[in-house]
């Protein structure tokens, strides 16, 4: 998948995405660009938002976001505060984490989830057996963000442990989202 008219940015979640993660594979195979963070283990929302802002600002073409887990919340927080959200054409939000789960309470700067509609087209892909977010909570997040929800069945947290490999079904969801989203003027 290559579209020289778009810049596709990947936004991994907490602890980043390792080499077997579908995000890493898509970066290698399709030239998508990762938004690197200063600290993947101790994520600070403000710091992550600055890194994302710089990545979007540096783009001369419209941007499509591909987020996983905590990266989905990064998209929501960034979009609520940035004056650059108009540069984003669409966002694929995969396996958003439920930040109210007790284990995730250590992510102090992320406690107040941003729950307002995104100003661009978005799709949430959720698994029916994700230990980090029930399908019901994923539906709630999708509704709050104004996103289309797609239940992809039992795929765990939709990460490298899910054994998805290159994950062509996810790539098709991304292509479908881009095709139905309105190009940025």
Q: Residue 89: in which H helix or E strand, if any?
A: strand 88-94
Tokens representing 133? 């977010």
Is residue 147 in a domain?
yes
The answer to whether the beta carbons of residues 25 and 10 sit under 8 Å apart is no
pLDDT in tens, 35-59: 999 999 999 999 999 999 999 999 9
Q: What is the CATH number of the domain that holds 99?
A: 3.40.50.1820
Strand partners, 126: 151
Task: Work out how many domains the chain is built from and give that number.
Answer: 1
Whether 185 is covered by a domain: the verdict is no
Please state the pTM of the whole predicted model: 0.95
Query: Has residue 2 been placed in a domain?
Result: no
Residue 97: domain span? 7-180
pLDDT tens, 127-163?
999 999 999 999 999 999 999 999 999 999 999 999 9
Average pLDDT over the chain reads 94
The encoded tokens of residue 48 equal: 């992550």
Any domain includes 1? no
Residue 108: what pLDDT?
82
**pLDDT higher than 90, residue 87:** yes
pLDDT at 104: 65
Does residue 128 fall inside a structural domain?
Answer: yes
Quick check: helix, strand or coil at residue 73?
helix
């Amino acid at each position: 998948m290559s579209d020289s008219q778009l810049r596709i940015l990947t936004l991994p979640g907490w602890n980043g995405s390792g080499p077997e993660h579908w995000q890493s594979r898509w970066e290698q195979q399709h030239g998508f660009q990762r938004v690197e963070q200063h600290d993947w283990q101790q994520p600070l929302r403000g710091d992550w938002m600055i890194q994302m802002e710089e990545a979007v600002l540096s783009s001369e073409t419209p941007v499509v976001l591909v987020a996983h887990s905590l990266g989905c919340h990064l998209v929501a927080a960034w979009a609520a505060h940035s004056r650059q959200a108009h540069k984003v054409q669409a966002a694929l939000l995969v396996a958003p984490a439920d930040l109210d789960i007790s284990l995730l309470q250590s992510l102090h700067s992320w406690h107040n989830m941003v729950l307002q509609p995104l100003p661009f087209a978005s799709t949430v892909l959720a698994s029916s057996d994700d230990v980090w977010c029930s399908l019901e909570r994923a539906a709630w997040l999708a509704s709050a963000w104004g996103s289309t929800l797609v239940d992809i069945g039992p795929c765990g947290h939709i990460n490298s442990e899910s054994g998805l490999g290159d994950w062509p079904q996810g790539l098709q969801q991304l292509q479908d989202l881009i095709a139905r989203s309105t190009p940025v003027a």
